[in-house]
Structure 1
């Protein structure tokens, strides 16, 4: 009898809430990939690099920008200084601190890169509040050039880019935690962009999707029938700043 009570208590203890965030225009107010272009002469992208974006996608495009910055003499410290100028979206630090206090699991799923995100989280002191980050891996080579690679290569999701299916990552994380004995009573997804639609569609009716006002995810949700035949089951919380989400969670 005592053993059964103990087992029930243990099961209750591992019922958690998972909150998944995009990074650019969500946790931070700017787009880190766009912001770093200020290091280019005049802040302008050369025409030969612009063509890479149209032909080969965003990650290859950013790789070419990093190569050009290296050729122009930009150093790791220049990148660090640039990233440290970026500010968190209003209310986001408070939201992350609240989730951490509640012992919720907080993950980031972003099409930025690991160097930028790690730099910003460490400088801000927010890194301890993040359980795990999923993004394109980036590192400096022995010459000092920042290299970025695909997180993965996918061909199964038309709503996502070739290098990052956020819905797949979200589902895989939930399954991974389940196999480790942790289940989630609720999943909340917070984002702004069109590539945040895929994970939003993976949510259940007990979950929340939080699209930022004035950005593409909210437009896609409002016009969901034009985007996909899949239904959106999650409840929608529109937000301008982190306090909008925090207020809803505190009132539950």
Structure 2
């Protein structure tokens, strides 16, 4: 179904933890992080922490080795591969950073499955230390959203994605867990789907007043349920279009055995 755009948050959605906290904790800088946390925005804090890591002799290789060990549910990668095999356009909208995300996705062998990555810039400077910058430069101007942190409004990113896929047959599925995923959920329209992680901040915010989210809500608790619900929704959309698993150029989509095995359990759609 080439008419489906699936947007993934990254931390606690694709991976099972917060990648920022994971790096800081695994390299032994939790106490300093907690000490500085009340004094500056999170994005600024992470850039500061990377400076501290560098000054204490932690190398980029040390950071990469930690990122390669980040925990994730074993069904998340098959879910991503299945959605891609079914013709979905996969994108990332995350408040992590490009360096962490690309390092992890490359290690997992799934970077090429995503057509777009929207996150805070991260790069290694000439001194060999990692710099992490804001997606929206709040030192120059505010993004104007009171729901989101100063460095990134995911709602504005979703609005741009919606504008770029404005054809009538396009459907958007958004997966997320954090409070920063609430703003984009409010941008979705009736034909879209919101997949909040159960009992996480975005789930709690939506549950306070579900009527403000126009999209259908389908919760998930772990990677296994993420895979199941995501394939259910893709199957539902394909049936509504009466052209299951056909790409826009009318060629039959090639499906792996794992994808074919996953599809039967996707029906019927749970309420």
The alignment's TM-score, normalised by the length of structure 2, stands at 0.79
Distance 2:234 2:157 in 1: 27
Q: CA deviation at 1:177?
A: 4.1
Distance 1:22 1:250 in 2: 18
Instruction: After superposition, give the CA deviation of every residue in 1:79-107 in whole Å (9 maximum; x if it has no partner).
Output: 11000001333421122111111221111
**Cα contact 2:4–2:171 (8 A) shared by 1:** yes
**Cα contact 1:53–1:60 (8 A) shared by 2:** no
**Cα contact 2:143–2:153 (8 A) shared by 1:** no
> Match of 1:82?
66
Distance 1:102 1:183 in 2: 19
What SS class does the counterpart of residue 173 from structure 2 fall into?
strand
Pick the aligned partner of 2:172 from 179, 187, 190: 187
Q: CA deviation at 1:77?
A: 0.6
**Cα contact 1:25–1:89 (8 A) shared by 2:** no
The alignment's TM-score, normalised by the length of structure 1, stands at 0.84
> Match of 1:100?
84
Q: CA deviation at 1:187?
A: 0.7
Q: CA deviation at 1:45?
A: 2.8
Aligned-residue Cα RMSD (Å) equals 2.0
Q: How many residues align?
A: 229
Instruction: After superposition, give the CA deviation of every residue in 1:28-66 in whole Å (9 maximum; x if it has no partner).
Output: 01110000013544x4332xx545432321001111111
> Match of 1:231?
212
User: Any unmatched runs of 5+ in structure 2?
Assistant: 237-271
Instruction: After superposition, give the CA deviation of every residue in 1:187-217 in whole Å (9 maximum; x if it has no partner).
Output: 1110000110000011111111001112111
Pick the aligned partner of 2:3 from 5, 13, 16: 16
Pick the aligned partner of 2:131 from 147, 156, 165: 147
**Cα contact 1:190–1:210 (8 A) shared by 2:** yes
Pick the aligned partner of 1:156 from 138, 144, 151: 144
Which range is displaced more, 68-77 or 182-191?
182-191
Instruction: After superposition, give the CA deviation of every residue in 1:122-144 in whole Å (9 maximum; x if it has no partner).
Output: 01011111111000001111111
Which range is displaced more, 144-153 or 52-61?
52-61
User: Any unmatched runs of 5+ in structure 1?
Assistant: 1-12
**Cα contact 1:208–1:234 (8 A) shared by 2:** yes
Distance 1:160 1:97 in 2: 30
Q: Does 1:171 align with 2:166?
A: no
> Match of 1:5?
none
**Cα contact 2:197–2:219 (8 A) shared by 1:** yes
Distance change in 2, residues 1:59/1:24 (3 Å): same
What SS class does the counterpart of residue 3 from structure 2 fall into?
strand
> Match of 1:7?
none
Distance 1:239 1:176 in 2: 28
What SS class does the counterpart of residue 82 from structure 1 fall into?
helix
